Amino acid sequence: MHDREGNATKLRWFGYKLHLIVDSTHELPVVYTVTPASKADVATAHALLDKLQAKRPEVLTRAEVLVADKGYDDSKLIMRLWDEHRIRPVIDIRASWRDGEATRLFEGQTNVVYDNKGRVFCVCPETGTMRTMAEGGFEEKRGTLKKRCPARAYGLSCAGVARCPVARGWRIRMDVDRRLFPPIARGSARWVREYRKRTAVERVFSRLDTMYGFETHTIRGLKKMRVRVGFALVVMLGMALGRLREGWSGKLRSFVQVA
């Protein structure tokens, strides 16, 4: 970074950071760690996966999707989730193209392009009109995302459909770019639906801040913070377990006394 006068400056982080994987259905913690605030999110994500793999591998076996914000946008993490655990990554993406390009042409194609958000477009060979291609789903055995002609999928008028090379659809291999083309297509209805579940993590953090007092804490020292966070999460899980045993499965997160 640079200050207003153009002088180089350094970024510094103070405090601690709680890294937490949450069950988005029940909004309960699955695995966590507390680090200095300067610790990178991606490196910690790999450490949390290592921890789960060593101590609770059944969680990774049952998990279907991992949702995260762009702080976890990392090719190695995305590949690891799918290749090792068959967990579909739904991770927001950073704008990483630095050459000003709006779109790039797929290798070997004449009228199919993509942008830096992983969206795929076909270009009409007659008029040059660019349209977003329709989703055709993920083909696991092929390792491909299927795209469909938008004119045929949505009943649109396209002057060049008769001689368009992708009028019958087209497949993208994930290996073209694993960040841009994960098993759940970026921008698809399912992607949007799954990404909304990230708010479950925000609600857990909100409860920790308000109900468990971390918003106004005066804790000093990483060891003390780890102990305090550990106690809070144990209480959160203990309350959920108690309600479950009493048959109150719909109130696992409630702080209100069960009558």
11 pLDDT exceeds 60? no
Neighbours of 13 (CB within 10 A): 10
**pLDDT of the residue at 242:** 85
Confidence band (pLDDT; 50, 70, 90) for 2? very low
Mean pLDDT over all residues of the chain? Answer: 89
pLDDT tens-place string over residues 104-136: 999 999 999 999 999 999 999 999 999 999 999
177 pLDDT exceeds 70? yes
**pLDDT of the residue at 256:** 61
What is the spatial distance between Cα 36 and Cα 23, in angstroms, rounded to a whole number? 24
Neighbours of 23 (CB within 10 A): 14
What is the spatial distance between Cα 114 and Cα 93, in angstroms, rounded to a whole number? 14
**pLDDT of the residue at 13:** 46
**pLDDT of the residue at 234:** 94
Instruction: Give CA separation, 228 vs 31, 79, 218, 254, in Å.
Output: 15, 34, 11, 21
**pLDDT of the residue at 7:** 47
164 pLDDT exceeds 60? yes
pLDDT tens-place string over residues 62-111: 999 999 999 999 999 999 999 999 999 999 998 888 777 899 999 999 99
* Weakest-pLDDT range from 105-109, 210-214, 250-254: 250-254
DSSP string, 90-107: EE-------S--S-EEPT
**pLDDT of the residue at 4:** 45
Encoded tokens for 118: 């992983």
